[in-house]
Structure 1
Amino acid sequence: MHALQSLHTFALPSHCQKLVVVEAPEQLKEIDFEPPFFILGEGSNCVFLEDFQGSVLQIANRGIEISETELHYHVRVAAGENWHQLVIKLLNMGIGGLENLALIPGTVGAAPVQNIGAYGVELADVFDSLTGFDIAKRDFVQLNKAQCQFGYRDSVFKGPLQGQFVITEVTLKLPKQWQPILAYGPLKALQGQSVSPQLVADRVIQIRRSKLPDPTVCANAGSFFKNPVVEAQLVDTLQEQYPDMPMYPVTKGKVKLAAGWLIEQAGLKDHRIGGIRVYDKQALVLVNDQQGDGTELLAMIEHIQQSVWGKFAVALMPEVRLIAAQGEHSVGGMHG
């Protein structure tokens, strides 16, 4: 048994039967992929609720290659590279485009799974293609953007290809004609000013640090719940009661709400169940600050879902992946 507590940032006490560190993609051809198995990067977006009864494959390959065409930089990155360090490396080279995604924890290989996003930019906006190991074919395959089926914090790797595919390399396409994206939240203050990619990144880092606890100091998995997308009709009703409710139109008839605001309005900031607590500076974050366990975390998730559903009739779903003994554990979002 291998301890997993130090391999996921929420740091619940848990173990796995076998740990395989993958430093070269070719190693994947030697692995039998007998279920259950789990693909792990830096463990910043998954929580092991209990002992995992199978193998954990930690993707740890490294390497960054940059080529350019007349209009774009093409950046090929090994899946085991740290995402934030990639953002900083490119900024230091004068290459912008990822600055809104600075300080998002985790590896480059995990970024497409989640279609990571922040401050008005998603990975899909800068994505070109990726390479990975198709477990059924026992071979490496390249997928383009359409084949990845990106959605809001979603992709084909959370659907049809879940457990079927190991991402080994990601290629990003960044325009040389850099345009700042400042329409979202606190970045609006920079509109109309002369800004550089570095300035935007510095602001994003400052905002994130003010809201999100450092996982090396206080165990957490960042934003725990997805911002729910709901019918505009429901929002109209809620706005009569909560005129200052943050909302972001998504498509015709659909509006995204701020999960953190909903949790805070439900009176749950700093709420504690056992060792698990709703973070006092940002209700979207759950922290494991007193040696919590998986049962307490599941109780907290359910309590938050029920409280928000009871007050707003809005269903919250975790953004973080919950891993039980045999694999992914899903929690329902509807409570009535």
Structure 2
Amino acid sequence: MLHVNSGEKWNELVKYTLKIGIFGLENLALIPGLVGSAPINNIGAYGLEFKDICSYIDLMFLKTKKIKRIYKKFCYFGYRHSIFKTNKFKDYVIISVGIKLYKKWKPINEYNGLNILNNKKLTPHKIYNKICSIRKKKIPNPKNIANAGSFFKNPIINYKKFKILIKKNKNLHFYIQKNGDIKIYAGWLIEKCNLKGTIIGGAQIHNKQALIIINKNNATPNDIISLARKIRNNVAKKFNIWLEPEVRLYGSKNEKNIQKL
């Protein structure tokens, strides 16, 4: 059981647990941001989501400074979603999280990129290093090139729709979830629309990872939204799948829905 304050850097936590011999966070390597952000969007990568390791969340009510503990089952975690993204918790701030990890380590290496590792010689450190290597090659450092990471969620479809899709696209990139639904790699869909490198104003689809929009040259909000709209329209036209943003879009007063922009 780990109790971690929300201001700690997420990747520093992952590295620290590996250093002291507590394993299970390695699949969430090199995700930028702080620990307190992790439950809000239910961060996930390479077959692991925050909900899989969450025990509880401690919140402070800003008006009274009272602290409240919310256990995992009341967080209503979903794919890149939690109850903390709703208006119900707009007056609360996450101050710490409780994380539960199994003492008997079991690797999660079914995800594309990790399934090439040798199972017999697999260690948490090797998984961590492999994921860091993959992410560094594909995802630009936001300190050097402004970006918000994956702009869109990987769409999840049922098996019936999957059968239609794979019949037309033999090399489809996908991941079968535990409940039988199919997660399609959004980056692959965008790439197959020949959109890599596309520029609108100062915004550009990254050349190495189509799922990322970068600020190439003083991009305006309209540049980014126009490029995101182009991506959604092209993917929908080619694959009959409407991509949903993973990033959250805010105007001067409140959050915006990309479908309405």
- The alignment's TM-score, normalised by the length of structure 1, stands at 0.74
5 Å matches for 1:46-65? none
Pair 1:293 & 2:220 matched: yes
Tell me if structure 1 keeps the 8 A contact 2:111–2:175.
no
Counterpart of 2:185 in structure 1 is 258
Where relative contact order (Cα < 8 A, 6+ residues apart) is larger, the structure is 1
Counterpart of 1:310 in structure 2 is 237
User: Residue by residue, what CA displacement relative to the aligned partner does 1:231-268 show, whole Å, maximum 9, x if unpaired?
Assistant: 32222122121111012233666321110001111111
SS at 1:332 equivalent = helix
SS at 1:161 equivalent = helix
Counterpart of 2:3 in structure 1 is 76
SS at 1:187 equivalent = coil
Shift in alpha-carbon separation, 1:177–1:147, aligned structure 2, 3 A: same
Aligned residues: 260
Pair 1:140 & 2:84 matched: no
Counterpart of 1:224 in structure 2 is 151
Structure 1: which amino acid aligns with 2:104?
Answer: Q
Pair 1:110 & 2:30 matched: no
User: Residue by residue, what CA displacement relative to the aligned partner does 1:168-221 show, whole Å, maximum 9, x if unpaired?
Assistant: 101111122111111111111124222221111011101111110111111111
Q: Distance in 2 between matches of 1:266 and 1:329?
A: 26
Counterpart of 1:190 in structure 2 is 117
5 Å matches for 1:97-246? 97-135=24-62, 139-159=66-86, 161-246=88-173
SS at 2:21 equivalent = coil
Choose between structure 1 and 2: higher helix proportion. 2
Kindly name which structure, 1 or 2, has the bigger radius of gyration based on alpha carbons: 1
Structure 1: which amino acid aligns with 2:58?
Answer: T
Pair 1:92 & 2:19 matched: yes
Tell me if structure 1 keeps the 8 A contact 2:186–2:211.
yes
SS at 1:183 equivalent = coil
Shift in alpha-carbon separation, 1:191–1:181, aligned structure 2, 3 A: farther
Counterpart of 2:194 in structure 1 is 267
Q: Distance in 1 between matches of 2:218 and 2:48?
A: 35
1:126 to partner: Cα distance: 1.0
Counterpart of 2:247 in structure 1 is 320
Counterpart of 1:248 in structure 2 is 175
User: Residue by residue, what CA displacement relative to the aligned partner does 1:36-93 show, whole Å, maximum 9, x if unpaired?
Assistant: xxxxxxxxxxxxxxxxxxxxxxxxxxxxxxxxxxxxxx21111111100111111111
Pair 1:279 & 2:199 matched: no
Tell me if structure 2 keeps the 8 A contact 1:230–1:314.
no
Choose between structure 1 and 2: higher strand proportion. 1
Query: What percentage of residue pairs aligned between the two structures are identical?
Result: 38
Q: Distance in 2 between matches of 1:76 and 1:125?
A: 16
1:273 to partner: Cα distance: 0.4
Unaligned runs of 5+ in 2: none
Shift in alpha-carbon separation, 1:164–1:295, aligned structure 2, 3 A: same
SS at 1:142 equivalent = strand
SS at 1:77 equivalent = strand
- The alignment's TM-score, normalised by the length of structure 2, stands at 0.95
